Chain A
Amino acid sequence: MQDLSIPIAAQISMQRLFIGYSISLVIGLLLGVLIDRIKYLDEALSPLLLGVQTLPSICWLPLAILWFGLGEESIIFVIAIGSIFSISMAVVSGIKHVPPLYIRAAKTMGAKGLRRYTSVVVPAALPSIISGMKQGWSFAWRALMAGELLTPTSGLGYVLVMGRDLHDMNQVVGIMIVIVIMGVVTDRLLFGRVEHAILCRWGLSKS
């Protein structure tokens, strides 16, 4: 029997989310940069990514279970896949929409290659990248819950299912409230703040 206490379940869930999201962050950012740098990849992958992005990430679960079995890896896979595409699409479109004037100014000041990329292109694209990361996080959060509801392992989603099985209304509602609070806290306080700070500094929103 798994431990059903809420703090432990919450900790397990957050840990999964953290691992899954970190993976998607690394792969998503790299994929975005690669697609931007390699024109062939852009032509080949961008339409594909747009399509795949519309697929709710939980739809990957059956495939993940076939690959990894019914367990930890499958949930993490679903979390990661849920946010990789929105992160990499945000990187690609953020870079594509960097005002050409910034690039021209950087060129005339002699900024070339990687230096220009890191000192102008990336910061100019940052507001869009951050909002992609924020969106990715909320996708990852949803994927986590769906994954835990559908796989009998552990975590908040699993305790929620147990509550249903035990006809324990208090537990079900209690866990839902915990899930809402955790979602709001991470989404608003963490990402919301970072995004707001960046938009203000870039002069894109009124503080």
Chain B
Amino acid sequence: MLEIVNVHKNFKTKNGVTNALQEVNLSVKNGDFVVLVGPSGCGKSTLLNIIAGLEKATSGQVSKSGRPILDAGPDRMVMFQEAALFPWLKVIDNVEYGMKIKGTGKRERREKAIHYLKMVHLTRFASAYPHELSVGMRQRVALARALSMDSDMLLMDEPFAALDSQTKSILHAELQQIWGATKKTIIFVTHNVEEAVLLADRVIVMTANPGRIKKEFRVQLARPRNIEDIDLTSTVGQILGELKEEVEKVAKAELDSDWSLENSSFISRPDTHLGNGI
């Protein structure tokens, strides 16, 4: 059980304070597949990082199985927007790295690494170095590495954004199958609403400026799901409607603040806040 209670997150920068998350409340049951969607900059990655223990919330509580999350740990594997492989290690050693830290035996480690590399169709590249792979292949190695850790929670930040649709749909199927078999809790961030509805039990729509949770959709379609399924398409339509409003709001806010900046340079008033926050 993951409990996020009243979480706020501010980033202090040179240009002032960014309110990345405001009053976020979310509880995730063990085995849930939760997908976060929302306009760019609404704090999805920030929220995921807080759950991962890589960022600290400015205020509020985050706890997993009753224990507050204070630090990153191997019970919450993360797949980042970039693969984050170590360039000095071969693909297979990258996959084995986490298991090595965990203290898994050499033999078992190798077997598992090969098993997961097989799953992402990369056994042929086991002894290649990461820079010899394409971006999508690297991302698949990162998936193999994350799965091999057997964590009960998997945090994924737009993991498949760089993949072609063919590979993507293979991995969607794999991920659903793994999720069904291992009962992992998965929190998944994406821009792609179809992907969200295809994978999720729960789709959480977030809003920007400040980042908060706007609405939650429960997806109760039977699995395995098909992207052309009519019920799926109608759920996608609903969520897109919700999102469109958000994206437009963000775009409008950006336009307005650009407009105010431009104008304040020839209106001789030092009022750069003009039009902000509409």
Contacts and interface: CB of A to CB of B under 8 A. Distances in A.
* Main SS class of interface, B: loop
B84 A104 contact: yes
Contacts of B78: 104-105, 108
Interface stretch (B95-103, B119-127, B183-191): B95-103
B187 to A, nearest CB: 13
B140 interface: no
A107 B76 CA distance: 10
A68 interface: no
Contacts of A27: none
B129 interface: yes
What does DSSP make chain A's interface, helix, strand, loop or mixed?
Answer: helix
B86 A108 contact: no
Interface in B69-100: 71-74, 76-78, 80, 82, 84-88, 97-98
Contacts of B88: 123-124, 126, 201-202
The size class of the interface chain B forms with chain A is 20 to 34
B129 A108 contact: no
B72 A104 contact: yes
Looking at B72, B77, B85, B132, which has the most chain A CB atoms within 10 Å of its CB?
A: B72
A102 B73 contact: no
A109 B101 contact: yes
Contacts of B76: 108
B84 A109 contact: no
Contacts of B85: 105
B72 A108 contact: yes
Interface string A113-138: 00100011001101000000000000
A110 interface: yes
A203 B102 CA distance: 27
A110 B86 contact: no
B80 A202 contact: no
A115 B100 CA distance: 11
Question: Lowest 9 A-B CB distances belong to which pairs?
Answer: A203-B131, A109-B98, A110-B74, A107-B72, A105-B84, A108-B78, A123-B88, A108-B72, A202-B87
Interface of B: 52-54, 71-74, 76-78, 80, 82, 84-88, 97-98, 101-102, 129-132, 145, 149
Interface of A: 101-102, 104-105, 107-111, 115, 119-120, 123-124, 126, 201-204
14 contacts: A102-B84, A104-B54, A105-B78, A105-B85, A107-B71, A108-B78, A109-B98, A109-B101, A109-B102, A119-B101, A123-B86, A124-B88, A202-B88, A202-B131
